[in-house]
Amino acid sequence: MKQRKTIALILLVVALVLSAAFLWQVEYPQGFEPYFKREYYNQFGPLAISVELLIAGYYLFVGDKKTNFALAVFGFTALLDPVFDQIGLFESIVPVYANFILSICAVFCLWLAFKNIFKLKRISTIVTAASFVLGVIIELFFNFV
């Protein structure tokens, strides 16, 4: 239990630091009309990924049965961002340093989710597919709205 909480706290700290960094990068437009443009909402994509990590870290900290699902959703979303960027589907606005950190966290979180290291609710094939689809939807939402 102590190891689970330690890992969760590390994930939470990473999520909070990245969330703060991404929030400071948000540019708030002047006037009313720019808030309805795609460029405004696109800048919240990196923040959404770090909030997913925050949620997954919280679930891991409390030992919730939804932990493995949250870890998988974060893992797929964080890994799909650089993959979609590399194949040319869209240009990612996640900074390189954050992509590196999030990719390491994503691989680790996927490993935690699929190995069921802390004996939380085992992730099924359907839940795996759902977390992958949700990751794709989140990525496409923030890059094609």
Which are the contacts of 118, defined by CB distance < 8 A and separation ≥ 6?
A: 4, 60, 63, 67, 112
Q: What is the mean pLDDT of residues 82-87?
A: 89
**Local structure of residue 120 (DSSP, 8 states):** -
Average confidence (pLDDT) over 106-123: 87
Q: What is the pLDDT of residue 124?
A: 85
The overall pTM is greater than 0.85: yes
Distances (CA, A) of 141 to 42, 144, 145: 8, 6, 5
pLDDT-based confidence at residue 78 (cuts at 50, 70, 90) = very high
- Is 145's pLDDT higher than 70? no
Residue 14: per-residue pLDDT: 95
Q: Which two tokens stand for residue 67?
A: 């932990």
Question: What distance in Å separates the CA atoms of residue 28 and residue 136, rounded to the nearest whole number?
Answer: 26
Burial class (CB in 10 A: 0-12, 13-18, 19+), 90: middle
